[in-house]
Structures are given as C-alpha cells and as structure tokens.
Structure 1
Amino acid sequence: MHGPALSGWLLMVLCGFTGAYCLLRTREGPERERRAARAEAVMGFGMAAMAVPAALLRPPEWTWAVYALVFAGASLRALVQASRGGGHHWHHLIGSLAMVYMAVAMAPGAAHPGAHLSHGAEAGGVPALTGVLLAYYAVYVLRSAGRLIPAPAPVGVAAGGGAPGGPGRTAWGSRPELALACRLTMGMAMFAMLLTL
C-alpha cells in the first residue's frame, strides 16, 4: 500500500484481527450469516495483506494480479448471492470490486505520471472512481456507526437483555453489534486505503 508505514502497520493489524474475528463467526449462526462472515473474513485478510508496509515486505509484482483474481472471484460470488435477494451481498460486491480496483491501481506500472504520494510513491487509479468509492464508504461508515449507538432499554427491561449467562445472553460469536463493528472497521479501513490512491 502506498503511504506512510505507520498507517500501513495499523491497517494491517486492524484488518487482520477483523478477518480473524469474522473467521470465528463462521462457526455459529444460520448459514446466511456464516456465508456473510466468510466473505468478510476474505475481505479482512485481503485488506491486511494489501496494507503490509513496503518496508516490511515488498511483494513480487505478480502479487497484485493474484489479489485482483481472488477479489474478481469474490465479486462474482457476491453478485450471484446478491441476485438471489441478499441485501448485504450488494455491499460485498462493491467491496470486492473496490479491492480489484485497488489491486490494479497499486500494481507496478499502473501509476499516473505526476501523481505522487508521500515518500515518493506514485498514485494510481481513476480520480472520479476513487471519489465515488470514497463517498460510498463515507456514507456506509456513518450509517454503520449510527446503528452502533445503543437505543434506550424499554421500561422494566434490563439493559443487558438478561442476567449474565442467563437465557437472554447471546454467544459472543453471534452478537449482531460485534458483526456490525467488524463491518464498520472494514469500511473505515477501505476508506483509508482508498485515500492513498
């Protein structure tokens, strides 16, 4: 990833942990949720790999083609799932296509002459498309963050939904707010990665 090494380290760690949590989510819940968690794990690990600072590891030139192929496959899968009526799969489709776009834009030789980032790295990509994706992820992050704000508990209901370990307690891997926090994290990471193009 182009840009300062510190942001690359932070994105790598954040996306790696998010991918690992999404991978754990694939063990619980209905099949639809497990399928979404698998797609999010692939996205998290792919973003972590793309964010590895060049100071740590300079990937071979063919790596970007592998990223593009993997996420082109993920895009096709998301398109099939979205066409079957999966609402969140449209977001997976946009995310996978954005990853293909970033892989192509970050590939050696894809930079536009004269478009330099910090540390002398050249930027690639189409500014208008990058702007549209940035706007999409900005709106997505703001909407997701708004959903994480807790609603006040109804009168007479405990805030936690029940006693710890009681019947109202949800397993940590299937808690909807944690899944939403993972999606929010990946949306912010995608926004940050797009800023470096």
Structure 2
Amino acid sequence: MHGPAASGWLLVALCAATGAYCLLRLRSGVEEQRRTAGDEALMGFGMAAMAVPAAVYTPPQWAWPVYGAVFGAAGLRALWAARVGRHHLHHLVGTAAMVYMAWAMAVSPSAHGHAHGGSGLAPVTGALLLYFTGYVLLSGARLIPVPAAAGGAPPAGWGDRPELAQACRLSMGIAMVAMLITL
C-alpha cells in the first residue's frame, strides 16, 4: 500500500494480531465464534500482508492476481454462507474490497504512483470508504458497555467473549479504512 512506513507497520501489527486472535477463536466451544473465525483470520493476515510498506517490500507483479484469487474464493464462500447469516454479507463486502485493492495495486503504474489517475477507481474507493466508515461507527457503538443483569451467566473464557470478537472486527474495519485511504 502507498503511505508512510510507520503507519504501514502499525497496520501490519494490528491486522496480524487480529488474525492471530481469530485463529485462537477457531478453538472456541461456541459455534458462533468458530463459524466466522476462519474467515476473519484470513482477512486479518491478508490485510497484514497487503499493508507491508512498499518502501520495505514491493511484492512481485504476479502476487496481486494471487491475492485477488484467494479473496475471490473467500468471497464465493461468503456469498454461499450469506444464505444463513447476515454477518457474512459483511465478509462478502470485505473480500470484494480486498479483490479490488489487489486489482488496483496490479494496475498501479509504479510502486509510488496512484491508480486513481483517470482509471475510474475513485468512485469505487469512495463507496468502499463510506461502507467501512459506517461499519466502524456502528461497531464502535456496539462496544459501548451496557449494565450487566443481576445473576447473569458467568463470564466466558477470553477466547469466547463476543465483545473481543467485535473489537477485532472493529480494528479490521479501521484498518480497511486506512488501507483504502492510502490506495
């Protein structure tokens, strides 16, 4: 991605940590956690790989179509899974955004040039920015604590806590906004 190296490394760390936590959620005893954890781990690690600053490592030109194919396949899986769960529609938009960013980087004239120069990418980037900004705002609002009910269920293990999963989704949404801005 285009942008300062320091912010790129922060995105790499954030996305890799989120992907690692999502891998841990695969071992959860809660089926709902396991259902989306693999998809979210793929997104976290994929975003971490794409966020490595171009000044440090510029992937070979063949890497972008590979990213596109991997996230295209993940998008098809999300489309299939969207039949039963609304959250999978968000995964579908996320994978589409990753395919779009891989394509934009593949057609970028150079590692330091921007792909927006007359190629019609700006409206798509703008639409994705609007979506992910809205997603971040809604996800952040969902993290606002509510008073616990008296005599509620005992606290779940740290890997089964839905607020941690929501915080990971929020951090990936923020990272997606940052990556789209630097596109």
**Pairwise same-fold verdict (TM > 0.5):** yes
Paired residue for 1:137?
A: 132
Residue 35 (structure 1) shift:
2.4
Greater displacement, 137-146 / 53-62: 53-62
Conserved in 1, the CA contact under 8 Å of 2:72 and 2:95?
Answer: yes
- Quote how far apart the aligned CAs of 1:111 are: 2.9
**8 Å CA contact retained: 2:79, 2:89:** yes
Task: Please give the residue correspondences for 1:144-163 in structure 2 after superposition, counting only pairs within 5 Å.
Answer: 144-154=139-149, 157=150
- Which position in structure 2 is the counterpart of 1:89? 88
> Partner residue of 2:43?
43
- Aligned to 2:114, the other structure's residue is in SS state strand
Distance 2:155 2:128 in 1: 38
* Residue in structure 1 matched with residue 99 of structure 2 by the alignment: 100
Question: In the alignment, residue 127 of structure 2 is paired with which amino acid?
Answer: V
Higher strand content, 1 or 2: 1
After TM superposition, the score normalised by the length of structure 1 is 0.85
Q: Contact 1:137 / 1:191 at 8 angstroms: preserved in 2? A: yes
1:61 Cα deviation from its structure 2 partner: 1.1
Which amino acid is the alignment partner of residue 47 of structure 1?
A: M
Work out whether 1:189 is the aligned partner of 2:172. Answer: no
Stretches of structure 2 that go unaligned for 5 or more consecutive residues are none
Identify unmatched segments of 5+ residues in structure 1.
162-166
Encode CA deviations 1:112-171: one digit per residue, 9 max, x unaligned.
Answer: 7xxx9xxx82122511111010000011000000010101234xx38xx6xxxxx71211
Alignment partners' CA distance in 1, 2:54 and 2:108: 16
Question: 1:122 corresponds to which residue?
Answer: 113
TM-score after normalising by structure 2: 0.92
Distance in 2, matches of 1:33 and 1:179, equals 8
Shift of 1:7: 1.1
Whether 1:60 aligns to 2:69 is: no
Go from structure 1 to structure 2 and tell me whether the alpha carbon gap of 1:121 and 1:56 turns closer, same or farther (over 3 Å shift): closer
- Deviation of 1:34 (Å): 0.9
Residue 145 of structure 2 aligns to a residue in which SS?
Answer: coil
CA RMSD of aligned residues (A): 1.8
Moved more, 94-103 or 120-129: 120-129
Asked whether the equivalents of residues 3 and 121 of structure 1 are also in contact (C-alpha less than 8 Å), the reply is no
Q: Is the 8 A contact 1:78 1:90 kept in 2?
A: yes
Residue in structure 1 matching 2:158, options 167, 172, 188? 172
- Stretch deviating more after TM superposition (25-34 or 169-178): 25-34
